A = this chain, B = another copy of it.
Amino acid sequence: MKNPILVPELRDLLHRKKVGILKSFLEDGHPKETAEYLALLNPDEIWRIINLVNKELRVEIFSYLDMDVQVEMVSGTRKKNITELLMGMGHDDRADLFQHLEKDLVDRLLVLLPLSERSDIVKLTSYKEHTAGAIMTTDFATLNENDIVEKAIAKIRREAPSKETIYYIYVINDEGKLIGFVSLRKLIISRPKKKVRDIMKRDVKFAYISNDREIAARIIEEYDLLALPIVDEHEKLAGIVTYDDAMDILKEEQTEDLEKLMAISGGVENKTYLDVSFFTHFKKRAFWVIALGIVGILTAFIIEFFSGAIEALIVLTFYMPLLNAAGGNTGSQSATVVLRALTLNELNFKDIFKVIKKEFYVSLFLSLCLGAIVFSRVMLLTNPSSIPEEFTLISIAMVISFSLALQVLWATIFGGVIPIIATRFKLDPAVVSSPLLATFVDMGGVIIYFSVAKLVLGI
């Protein structure tokens, strides 16, 4: 996305003091794109450039800068307009910035702000990570139920510049409790003398400060909301989460879910694939790869235990990878669909028997298909010389295809059930990654395979 070609030009314009051109560059572009260009300059240059435009746009561009650039910019010697910038920022973005600053810088910056803003920052930065409280913003618009429409519109118009959104306005009673909401659309088409109470919607969706941020985002997604009010334990309105933050959260959660599914650990940073160093990539992947490698060594012990059977009938080893792959694939599939259904709140623990039933039928059909294919393969394409005389080809084909069917059956049901059981124990169901599952399925598969062979063929 970033276009380094522009950097020398921007720098040149700055040195030649071409204020007009720089100003229109900032005013014509989307603040997000402007921020991407500016990020390649040094903090001092960025300050000089963004100070050319009005406060509103300056704050917007600043808020789109990467967090490390923002931190650098407020870390230097005190800059002109820094107080104005901090006052103008969205309360959630500002709290986020303060969370990334050194303790003594926080103190130095806080004294520049009025008391109310200071306590807002302290409060917002105090909420636990990944909760709705930690992502909400406090610059929301409210009305009293007794306000009349024309007065309400005038109030909203006055407050608009300092509010995160004015399209959903929350109605509170005298104790600050959330009792309804009204959209700006409804407000402007209602008769001027009507009371807010008579046009507001009372069935207002909300989340608690302590709820997981994903819960808040999912409510926004489900009910097509522009913003969701967040209340404290006394049901007092404490903040709002807007739809754009919800989209970001859902995107991050999806990346995280996907990575967990593939046994990649560590949170998602707001960095692109190429921006993340190879060592960070390594660290995120190493834990599970190594852990599963160690567990996989157990499988080696199991096979060693059955080495007599292998010696007696080498042909069995030809189908080991196929058996493991079929178990891994079908187990991962059922785990994936169940996991997705859990993420989207379509399932919960009490549905476990329905899931078992459904996965049983699915796996029965899959195992019949695969079993038939492998049975034919063994019957039709086995070199007779590779079979010792004491065994018949059909008995070997039956052992292999029956083991495969059994492996698919148990892998599919196991894969579907484990994520549900994880939720029962308040574990994130996504910890049950596809590789972790496959490792256990491999072990089970080897035991099934050689036990069936021993029982049927007596080896």
Q: Indicate the member of A289, A290, A315 with the most B CB atoms within 10 Å.
A: A289
Contact status A188-B32, CB under 8 Å: no
Contact of A369 among B28, B188, B290, B446 (CB under 8 A): B290
Shortest A337–chain B CB gap in Å is 6
Asked whether any CB of chain B lies closer than 8 Å to the CB of A392, the reply is: no
Contact of A247 among B160, B247, B279 (CB under 8 A): B247
User: Complex Cα distance A346/B325, Å?
Assistant: 32
User: Complex Cα distance A449/B167, Å?
Assistant: 64
Copies in the complex: 2
Asked whether any CB of chain B lies closer than 8 Å to the CB of A329, the reply is: yes
User: Complex Cα distance A165/B297, Å?
Assistant: 59
Stretch at the interface among A44-52, A128-136, A257-265: A257-265
Asked whether any CB of chain B lies closer than 8 Å to the CB of A105, the reply is: no
Closest to A336 in B: B262
Contact status B330-A251, CB under 8 Å: no
Asked whether any CB of chain B lies closer than 8 Å to the CB of A166, the reply is: yes
Task: For A340, list chain B residues within 8 Å (CB).
Answer: 255, 258-259, 273
Closest to A167 in B: B167
Asked whether any CB of chain B lies closer than 8 Å to the CB of A394, the reply is: no
For A332-352 the 0/1 string (1 means CB < 8 A from B) is: 110011101100101100010
For A219-263 the 0/1 string (1 means CB < 8 A from B) is: 011111010000000000000000110111011001101110111
Contact status B439-A251, CB under 8 Å: no
Known A273-B338, A369-B286: A307·B314 in contact at CB below 8 Å: yes
Known A290-B369, A337-B273, A369-B286: A321·B297 in contact at CB below 8 Å: no
Asked whether any CB of chain B lies closer than 8 Å to the CB of A300, the reply is: yes
Closest to A253 in B: B254
Closest to A203 in B: B30
For A370-402 the 0/1 string (1 means CB < 8 A from B) is: 100110010000010010000000000000000
Asked whether any CB of chain B lies closer than 8 Å to the CB of A72, the reply is: no
Task: For A88, list chain B residues within 8 Å (CB).
Answer: none
User: Complex Cα distance A185/B168, Å?
Assistant: 12
Contact status A317-B333, CB under 8 Å: no
Shortest A288–chain B CB gap in Å is 7
Asked whether any CB of chain B lies closer than 8 Å to the CB of A274, the reply is: yes
Contact of A286 among B161, B319, B366 (CB under 8 A): B366
Asked whether any CB of chain B lies closer than 8 Å to the CB of A117, the reply is: no
Contact status A273-B346, CB under 8 Å: yes
Contact status B439-A325, CB under 8 Å: yes
Contact status A362-B319, CB under 8 Å: no
Asked whether any CB of chain B lies closer than 8 Å to the CB of A15, the reply is: no
Between A and B, 21 residue pairs with Cβ closer than 8 Å are A167-B185, A221-B247, A226-B226, A254-B254, A261-B336, A262-B329, A264-B333, A281-B358, A281-B362, A285-B366, A293-B322, A293-B369, A299-B321, A300-B322, A303-B318, A303-B320, A304-B318, A307-B318, A311-B314, A325-B435, A325-B442
Interface, chain A (partner B; CB < 8 A): 28-30, 32, 153, 156-157, 160-161, 166-167, 184-185, 188-189, 202-203, 205, 220-224, 226, 243-244, 246-248, 250-251, 254-255, 257-259, 261-264, 272-274, 278-279, 281-282, 285-286, 288-290, 292-294, 296-297, 299-301, 303-304, 307, 310-311, 314-315, 317-322, 324-326, 328-330, 332-333, 336-338, 340-341, 344, 346-347, 351, 354-355, 358, 361-362, 365-366, 369-370, 373-374, 377, 383, 386, 434-435, 438-439, 442, 446
Starting from the known contacts A289-B369, A300-B321, A320-B321, 9 additional A-B residue pairs (CB-CB under 8 Å) come to A30-B205, A258-B340, A262-B336, A279-B361, A286-B369, A290-B370, A304-B383, A310-B314, A329-B435
